[in-house]
Structure 1
């Protein structure tokens, strides 16, 4: 569901973090606008939301920040092929995700 055009629109495969930001009251202040948890129910929504959701988000941010601080990670384009996802308990890339990693 994370990349379904019917859910996220025509630009569902583009990396556009600004889609979750909006200007507050026209005053120039930009705020984060979270999506409805029922739109992408990875952690479920409502009364039965996953207890580990906040911990998972915190851990994801920590790992990403640590890697980006020490390494420069660049996507390696292979024959202009769009990476495919494998549907499983934990989402992963089919044939892996080719990247080039260099120490900063």
Structure 2
């Protein structure tokens, strides 16, 4: 559909940003016009539950333990993967609250 002459005109194989300009102002097309981009928002179905669990665990740890981050003056590097991780982890000391 991205190169159909019926939809985009005779110059369908050319990059023409002016297609979306009307009187020099950008006019967004309907998201349903080109279904490859999908008109519906995509969200993770378990996102809300994951946030609830994260807050619950963080609150429990903060209530029971004192967490001291080591090397506070250095910025950790990142490892790029499916999820963003810290290179070498985050060195901490954990003390039980009294």
- TM bracket (short chain): 0.5 to 0.7
Across the two proteins, how many residue pairs are aligned to each other? Answer: 58
Return the alpha-carbon distance in structure 2 between the equivalents of residues 81 and 102 of structure 1.
Answer: 22
Return the alpha-carbon distance in structure 2 between the equivalents of residues 62 and 90 of structure 1.
Answer: 21
The offset of 1:85, in angstroms, is 1.7
CA-to-partner distance for each residue in 1:44-98, whole Å, 9 max, x for gaps?
Answer: xx621111110111111011011111100111116x3211121112222101101
What residue ranges of structure 1 are gaps of 5+ in the alignment? 1-45
Return the alpha-carbon distance in structure 1 between the equivalents of residues 67 and 58 of structure 2.
Answer: 11
What residue ranges of structure 2 are gaps of 5+ in the alignment? 1-39
Q: 1:64 aligns with which of 58, 62, 73?
A: 58
Residue 82 of structure 1: aligned partner: 75
* SS of 2:41 mapped into structure 1: helix
Structure having the higher Rg: 2
Q: TM-score normalised to the size of structure 1?
A: 0.50
